[in-house]
Amino acid sequence: MQQHLHNAPLVDKINYSNLIDIVNHLVTTMKSSLPNTLFMLMQSYRVTTRDAINANDLGLNAMHVRCLHIIAATPQCTANDIVTQTQRDKAQIARLIKELLALNLINKCASEHDKRCFIVSFTASGTALFNKLLNAERQVNEQMCKNLNSTQINDFLNTAQTMIKNMQ
């Protein structure tokens, strides 16, 4: 009996080269899966929201939608407010405002305090579109979070906020 055990291999030799390759692959996969996951989440969110408000038909992109949110949230909103909040250059924001004006979604009028400064606000169609956008975002949020509990959602939000702060 003792001789039989002596002749049997007790442990196969570990191939450390393969083990290192596996660990490196896992680390690489983990690193690349975060950017891929974030990109896929944002892309899915944007596409679903854009489809819900027919943004493609209107010629709106993500920056237009972002501008609409800023206009809605900022009293006496100016182009400079949009520049500051989006961290985009003035020329790009000027083009976006011009496009939103052409679509009759916003009005532009001189400020009472500074005639060189223009205040942008929603037209009736802009208000209707923004309300449709808010409704679409609510539906997308519900769909996106339907199998998550409040702890998971809060953990995700806290993690995402920490990541955002790390990037600033």
> Which pLDDT value is given to residue 30?
57
Residue with tokens 């083009």: 95
Whole-structure pTM over 0.85, yes or no?
A: no
Distance CA 119, CA 122 (A): 10
Neighbours of 57 (CB within 10 A): 8
> Phi and psi at residue 6, in whole multiples of 5°?
-65, -35
Of 29 and 93, more confident: 93
Distance CA 43, CA 41 (A): 6
> Phi and psi at residue 114, in whole multiples of 5°?
-145, 105
Q: What is the mean pLDDT of residues 36-41?
A: 84
Residue 65 has which token pair? 């939608």
Opening angle at CA 137, ends 59 and 123, nearest 5: 55
> Which pLDDT value is given to residue 27?
62
Of 99 and 62, more confident: 99
**Per-domain boundaries in the chain:** 60-134
Residue 68 has which token pair? 């609409």
pLDDT digits (tens, 9 = 90+) for 83-140: 999 999 999 999 999 999 999 999 999 888 777 889 999 999 999 999 988 988 898 8
Neighbours of 64 (CB within 10 A): 19
Q: Which CATH number is 60-134 given? A: 1.10.10.10
Listed ranges 43-57, 73-87, 133-147; the one with the highest mean pLDDT: 73-87
